[in-house]
Structure formats: structure tokens, C-alpha cells
């Protein structure tokens, strides 16, 4: 069976909403087993991750870069890196932040470089940008206009039950679905 892991960190629950949306997308494709892991737990489950066909990484943007718990996971994975245990697995990423930009592209780039160091194959979002014309709105899919992965934004004065908004969750769901479809094809032809 094709197995896809989501490894994520969320300090205050907003990014977890997005991680769950990515999970819904993954599970919308038949025949996929999902491993849903917080970055702290994932550090102790590196072997389980080695058994997966794809890993999707996600975390909030803190101080313009990946949250520290995700960095700790990344550094712990150097044990796997030694033997290139995740080589040729599909990888993708998502990040949430308080500002529309908030420098969160830097977080996706960090996740992407991390995947590259592991010899993984990075899948971008694969969606056209939304909210970039006179008829657009924040309710568009990919309203932040990201290509490297799924970006979302949550208001700093609202809890995860309100923010990030539905369009960000739908965008994340589409990332999960895309990774599942790509991984299924990759596994079938390998």
C-alpha cells in the first residue's frame, strides 16, 4: 500500500488546521495509508518515515523561518540523511503565518532545501494564483499566490477555529490530493 506521512508542528493550533486539511486531501485518494505525525513525535519515528513513499512537511513561520520544533526534527533526521534513507521519496510543504507575507516563502524554501538534502523529489502546489485580479478575493483558492507549496495566513487575534479561512484550507487539501496522486503514479511506475 502507498503510504504518505504528514510531519508538522503547530504551536497554537493554526497550522494544525492546515495539516488536517492536507490530510483530508491525501485521504481523498483511494488506497493511500496516512501517517499523521507531530514533528516532536516524528523525531522518534524516523524508521516509520523511511517506510513511507512520500512525506509532507509543514510548520508555522516564526521569525521569518521554520519553527524551532520543525528544525529540531530536521536536524534529528540527519541520521537518515547519512544513508540517504528518504532518497527518491516525494516531498512537499506548507506553512502558515500571521502576515500575508510574513517572509513565509523562506520557510517553504527551508523545507524544500531540506528535502533536497535528503534526495527527495519536491512537488510544488501546482495551482494558479488566486486573488490577483479585479474579480479576485481572499476566498480564492491559492489566495496567497504560492507555487513552492501551500501558504496560509491566520489573523493573530483569532483562534484556530476561525483562522486560517476556508480558502486556505481548500488550498491545503488540494496540495494533499496532488501529493497523493503524484505518489501513486510514482510508486506504480517504480
Q: Which residues bind ligand FMN (CB under 6 A)?
A: 10-15, 60-64, 96-99, 102-103, 154, 156
CB 77 within 8 A of CB 118: yes
C-beta nearest to ligand FMN: residue:
102
Q: Cβ of residue 149: shortest distance to ligand FMN, in angstroms?
A: 15
- Which one, 44 or 162, has the nearer CB to ligand FMN? 162
Q: Cβ of residue 186: shortest distance to ligand FMN, in angstroms?
A: 29
Q: How far is CA 151 from the centre of its chain?
A: 9
Phi-psi region of 181 (alpha: psi -120 to 50; beta: other; left: phi over 0): alpha
- Which one, 12 or 79, has the nearer CB to ligand FMN? 12
Q: Cβ of residue 96: shortest distance to ligand FMN, in angstroms?
A: 5
Q: Cβ of residue 164: shortest distance to ligand FMN, in angstroms?
A: 8
- Which one, 58 or 176, has the nearer CB to ligand FMN? 58
Q: Cβ of residue 92: shortest distance to ligand FMN, in angstroms?
A: 18
- Which one, 14 or 143, has the nearer CB to ligand FMN? 14
- Which one, 67 or 90, has the nearer CB to ligand FMN? 67
Amino acid at each position: 500500500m502507498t503510504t504518505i506521512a504528514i510531519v508538522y508542528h503547530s504551536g497554537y493550533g493554526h497550522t494544525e488546521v492546515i495539516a488536517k486539511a492536507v490530510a483530508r486531501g491525501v485521504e481523498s485518494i483511494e488506497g493511500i495509508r496516512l501517517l499523521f505525525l507531530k514533528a516532536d513525535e516524528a523525531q522518534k519515528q524516523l524508521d516509520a518515515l523511511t517506510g513511507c513513499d512520500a512525506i509532507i512537511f509543514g510548520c508555522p513561520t516564526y521569525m521569518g523561518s521554520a519553527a524551532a520544533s520543525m528544525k529540531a526534527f530536521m536536524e534529528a533526521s540527519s541520521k537518515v540523511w547519512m544513508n540517504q534513507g528518504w532518497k527518491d521519496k516525494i516531498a512537499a510543504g506548507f506553512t502558515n503565518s500571521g502576515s500575508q507575507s510574513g517572509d513565509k516563502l523562506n520557510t517553504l524554501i527551508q523545507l524544500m532545501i531540506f528535502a533536497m538534502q535528503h534526495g527527495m523529489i519536491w512537488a510544488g502546489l501546482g495551482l494558479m494564483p488566486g486573488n490577483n485580479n479585479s474579480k479576485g478575493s481572499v476566498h480564492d483558492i491559492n489566495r496567497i499566490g504560492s507555487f513552492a507549496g501551500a501558504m496560509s495566513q491566520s489573523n493573530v487575534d483569532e483562534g484556530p477555529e476561525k483562522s486560517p479561512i476556508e480558502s486556505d484550507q481548500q488550498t491545503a487539501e488540494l496540495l494533499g490530493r496532488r501529493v497523493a496522486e503524484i505518489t501513486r503514479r510514482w510508486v506504480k511506475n517504480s
